[in-house]
Amino acid sequence: MSRAFVKEADEDSAAAELPERPLSDHPNYVSPHGLELLQERLKELQESRERLKAADDPMAKQKLLEVKRDIRYFQAQLERAQVVDPAGQPHHEVHFGATVTIVDEDGKRYVFHIVGDDEADVASHRISWASPLAKAMLGASVGDTVKWQRPAGVAEVEIVAIQYDAGAATRGA
């Protein structure tokens, strides 16, 4: 049945059809910048909710359900957030907040920033600390070779540099 023929009173059943955004089982580590991003996103969603509440449009009602779901997700992420200051990490090993330069088996060089789940963006070379590559690198030092499981099979990479530049996380570099 088309949503156009569903009564507004059925909003509760429509909300039941909208799946919740999944929360991971692992801790929600965030950088100080990541915490700010979560807070900003929640504020934007709350403002959007107020605008959508005032709208008298069936599409706005559906969008409102999505916004309410996203508010619940970001509130939960903020409640679970554990801020990790990269400056406090041991700089000779890979940990949360590190900028890691690796060389793969073909000699190609890559740089990744290890960040929280909500900050991760592979296109920007920011990977979650819980990703397979980051997990393989955690605790490693410069010169170490680590193996990580990827969809195409096991790969080896060598850690060639580790930096803890608080500005990198802030800039999103």
Give the model confidence (pLDDT) of 3-56 as tens digits: 454 445 454 555 557 899 989 899 999 999 899 999 999 999 999 999 999 888
pLDDT tens figures, 71-89: 999 999 999 999 998 888 8
168: pLDDT strictly greater than 80: no
d(CA 118, CA 36): 11
d(CA 70, CA 81): 16
Name every residue whose Cβ is closer than 8 Å to that of residue 2 and which is 6 or more positions away in sequence. none
d(CA 75, CA 37): 12
- Answer yes or no: are the C-beta atoms of 145 and 158 closer than 8 Å: yes
Going by C-alpha positions, the residue among 29, 21, 9 that lies closest to residue 130 is 29
> Would you state the pLDDT for residue 57?
85
Sign, Cα dihedral of 30, 22, 132, 80: positive
> Would you state the pLDDT for residue 58?
85
d(CA 64, CA 119): 24
Query: Which token pair is 136?
Result: 């393989």
Over the chain, what is the mean pLDDT? 87
Residue 106, classified by CB atoms within 10 Å of its CB into exposed (0-12), middle (13-18) or buried (19+), is exposed
pTM: 0.78
> Would you state the pLDDT for residue 75?
97
Three-class SS state of 59: helix
Sign, Cα dihedral of 63, 68, 71, 76: negative
2: pLDDT strictly greater than 50: no
